[in-house]
Amino acid sequence: MGVLDKISVKVTRPYREEDVPAMVPIWNTVVEDGRAFPQEEPLGVDAAREFFAAQSHTAVVTVAGRIVGLYILHPNNVGRCGHVANASYAVSDKLRGRGLGRLLVEDSLRQAGELGFRGLQFNAVVASNAGAIALYEKLGFVRIGTIPGGFRNKDDQYEDMHIFYHETC
């Protein structure tokens, strides 16, 4: 029995202002790892408040009342392409591989539909992120294509990145 089987998991909820200090280190761990997010600079709390508030939807997942993961959801593009969403996910490095990412992705698909988005597109799924790729494929995302060497990781090595898509309507 895993730790999450013994502890109360709240699937997800919209973030609240007071959650931001707990969200920042989770987000920044992914940024600083340099193997999944395109951002290179970590967020400070003030910048994070603006960043998370600017999204169409930001949500957290909690375990035993503690924030252990989050996602952001927003239009993938503007104008005539604004009906397709994009999302990013971050889970505490101590709790990865235990199904929290799945909860976040499933909730983001529901939220995208509720917000009127017709699909959810990921522009830059790094080829070495096998866990994310397996999850997205299990949830019905389709790999649209690959950009050879499209992602520069923290070690300044280039690796392929994939585009995935899922219809929400």
Parallel, antiparallel, or unpaired: how do β-strands 119-126 and 84-91 relate? parallel
Q: Report the share of the chain in percent with pLDDT over 70.
A: 93
CB 87, CB 64: distance < 8 Å: no
DSSP-derived secondary structure letter, 97 = T
Q: What is the pTM of this model?
A: 0.91
Sketch the domain layout of the chain as residue ranges: 3-121
Query: Which three-class secondary structure string do you get for 110-162?
Result: HHHHHCCCCEEEEEEEECCCHHHHHHHHHCCCEEEEEEEEEEECCCCCEEEEE
Average pLDDT over residues 35-39: 94
How far is Cα 96 from Cα 16, in angstroms, rounded to an integer? 23
Residue range 3-121, CATH number: 3.40.630.30
Condensed to tens digits (0 to 9), the pLDDT of residues 95-135 reads: 888 889 999 999 999 999 999 999 999 999 999 999 999 99
pLDDT confidence of 4, banded at 50, 70, 90?
A: low
pLDDT confidence of 1, banded at 50, 70, 90?
A: very low
The tokens for 74 are 């927003």
Report phi then psi at 93, rounded to 5.
Answer: -60, -25
How far is Cα 15 from Cα 50, in angstroms, rounded to an integer? 13
pLDDT confidence of 2, banded at 50, 70, 90?
A: low
Reference 32, options 42, 47, 44, 22; nearest CA is: 42
